[in-house]
Amino acid sequence: MQQLINIIEEVKKKITDGSDMLWTTYETPGELRAELEKYAGELKAGNKNCLYQLHILFLPTSDLQEHSLMNGWSEIYLRLADAFDNIYTALSKNGGT
């Protein structure tokens, strides 16, 4: 779980107060950061129920990719999304989602 938490923390760092949120479903950067923080907290507590919601956020053309494209960190996002996908797939195969 720590690897997933680390990915979430890296993404949160890219969502600054000045972020352009135009192509996301979030009104403010704080709203997106708060959701990610909630998921990180759940994972820290050992609760894996949020994995599917995180999976949705990391899908192509979903909120995180749109944010990365609008705010100049798409290459970093692709690396993080790939890492997330690998962990998510491994957990799914082991019945972890």
Model confidence at 96: pLDDT above 80? no
Question: What's the CA gap between 21 and 75, in Å, rounded?
Answer: 18
Q: Where are the domains of the chain?
A: 2-16+28-93
* pLDDT computed for residue 95 by the predictor: 67
Q: How confident is the model at residue 97 (pLDDT cuts 50, 70, 90)?
A: low
Tens digits of residue pLDDT in 7-59: 999 999 999 999 999 999 999 999 999 999 999 999 999 999 999 999 999 99
Task: From residue 23, give the alpha-carbon distance in Å to each of 26, 93, 97.
Answer: 9, 32, 28
Residue among 35, 62, 67 nearest 85 (CA) = 62
